Structure 1
Amino acid sequence: MAKCCCICGRKLGIFGEERYKLAEEYIACYSCAQIFRKLKEFDDKKIIDKYEKELLGRLDENNASQEVRNLVENEIENIKRVKYEAEKKKELEKQRKEQSIRKRNEFMVTTGYNFEGYTIKKYLNLVHGENVLGTGMFSEASASIADIFGTSSEEFGKKISKAKEDAQEKMIINALMLGANAIIGIDFDITTFSNNIIGVSTNGTAVIIDTNVCPNCGKKVLENESFCTSCGTKIEKETK
């Protein structure tokens, strides 16, 4: 006896027909399997509701048993749950990305050892970043010609600047991973290797800084100020 779709009652094809297995003894035909596939494919709530209604309608038309109805309803809920979790994960990733961008935009760096108007709350660790690039034989030849005429090589300059930017960005990422919001004492080193290769490294100290503000009025206070210039409140210095 030919098997039938547990949802709509249609006879199942023998060869090559797409099916959807709800349980060992309950199989959905090609037509119903397509609806399940579309439920998984689309994210629009109206479209999902439409296909859900279509499946439930087929169950009613076929007078399907309560057991089959429960299997179909559970499968639909599982599909919705997976979609919800995927959407939630996507939203969390978006929030993390926005938070990372915000932290990066607010991140401060200096070759010095302090920031005016800020206090270093915590010294975290030494951080570094490296970048290696090839100068290319033609760039080197151009630089040699430029040196002969006493001019600087623009091509070399651009590559070094880009390498320093990339190295600094890697260092900042390493600092962000430590929970820092600033780096002090930044220093660059440039090393030349064989085969027209240049290495650029940078390092500094990752720190957590906070704005100096008056505890009374909230106005910004400079590091060397003992009194608030706005309200006159005495500023107590933290003991390190």
Structure 2
Amino acid sequence: MLLTTTNNIEGRPVQQYVGIVTAETIIGANIFKDLFAGIRDIVGGRSGTYERVIEEARASALKELEQKAMQMGANAVIGIDLDFETVGSNGSMLMVIATGTAVKI
């Protein structure tokens, strides 16, 4: 399964547009992650803890997007867009929404 943010795949013309496909993932950051991120915020630098949470959420949303496209009979998803939002009390959860167009190439 090919996944791309572009609207076409060079040398692989779209044979059929199957439909829009979406996937959502919400991941909570626990109290320990918040504590260590707070310390990192005070002393400066990157927060590896939150970076891993973001990466996990992104990978999960893309995996779900791929699975849904396969169920629709597609072999690629083009025009993928990823949106990141914080939700929950005090923004304690991260939501990733992935959307794209499922196609046959």
- Unpaired runs of 5+ residues, structure 2, are none
Shift of 1:126: 0.7
1:204 aligned to 97, 100, 103, which one? 100
What amino acid is aligned across from residue 95 of structure 2 in structure 1? Answer: G
Note the C-alpha offset of 1:166: 0.8
Give the one of 176, 182, 191 matched to 2:85.
191
Structure with the bigger percentage of helix = 1
Equivalent in 10, 26, 31 of residue 137 of structure 1: 31
Instruction: Give percent identity, aligned residues only.
Output: 35
- CA–CA separation in structure 1 for the residues paired with 2:35 and 2:42: 11
TM-score, structure 1 normalization: 0.41
1:163 alignment partner in structure 2: 57
Structure 1 residue 132: Cα displacement: 1.1
Pairing partner for 1:146 from 35, 40, 58: 40
> For 2:74, what is the secondary structure of its paired residue?
coil
How far off its partner does 1:194 sit? 2.1
Alpha-carbon RMSD across the aligned residues, in angstroms, is: 1.1
- Quick check: which one's strand share is greater? 2
Corresponding position: 1:180 with 2:66: no
Deviation at 1:190, TM superposition (A): 1.3
Cα distance per residue 1:57-91 (max 9 Å; x no partner): xxxxxxxxxxxxxxxxxxxxxxxxxxxxxxxxxxx
Give the TM-score taking structure 2 as reference length. Answer: 0.91
What secondary structure, in the 3-state scheme, does the structure 1 residue paired with 2:5 have?
A: coil
Letter paired with 1:117: G
Partners of 1:193 and 1:137 in 2: how far apart? 15
Kindly provide the CA deviation profile for residues 31-55 of structure 1, in whole angstroms up to 9, marking residues without a partner as x.
Answer: xxxxxxxxxxxxxxxxxxxxxxxxx
1:185 Cα deviation from its structure 2 partner: 0.8
Match of 2:26, SS state, is: strand
How much has 1:200 moved relative to structure 2?
1.2
SS of equivalent to 1:118 = coil
Show structure 1 runs of 5+ residues with no match.
1-106, 210-240
Secondary structure, in 3 states, of the residue corresponding to 2:13? strand
Report how many residues are paired: 103
Q: Deviations over 1:170-215 (max 9, x none)?
A: 1111111111000011111112112422211111000111xxxxxx
Question: Counterpart of 1:67?
Answer: none
Cα distance in 2 between the residues matched to 1:149 and 1:182: 44
- For 2:24, what is the secondary structure of its paired residue? strand
Q: Which has the higher relative contact order, 1 or 2, with Cα contacts under 8 A spaced 6 or more apart?
A: 2
Q: Which has the larger radius of gyration?
A: 1
